[in-house]
Amino acid sequence: MSNADRAKQFLPFDALNGFRLALKEKEKIIVDKKDLSEEMQEELSRKLNSLEIGDKVKIVHYKNKQYKIDIGSFNQINRMQRFIIVGNTKIAIDNIFKIYDL
């Protein structure tokens, strides 16, 4: 018996398939999306206009009823379809809460 086969016999048995995933989903804290003031919208617009390809940024954005943080290099902005790409993550411009320079 190979070492891999021997190790498999000690893996935990998940009798309720998907139960752990369901518990993990329940642990998420659901929040409402915050409306940006005009001042915050103007600041965000200025920030988006000043970004250059390769800039390192930290972006706080709303996705799946939660606020998420993505850190990476700014790669692209598509104003027609209203999204940006940071690292490998596509982020809707309308869901961006704050952008920080790194």
Beta strands in 14-65 (DSSP E): 56-63
State residue 74's pLDDT score.
95
Amino acid 8: pLDDT:
60
CATH number (1.10.3470, 2.30.30, 2.50.20, 3.30.565) of 32-101 reads 2.30.30
Is 61's pLDDT higher than 60?
yes
Sequence ranges of the domains in the chain: 32-101
pTM score, whole prediction: 0.72
Task: With CA atoms as reference, report the closest residue to 74 among 96, 66, 63.
Answer: 96
pLDDT digits (tens, 9 = 90+) for 26-54: 677 788 999 999 999 999 999 999 999 99
- Please give the sequence-ordered ranges of beta strands (E in DSSP) within 1-102, or none if there are none: 56-63, 66-78, 83-86, 89-92, 96-101
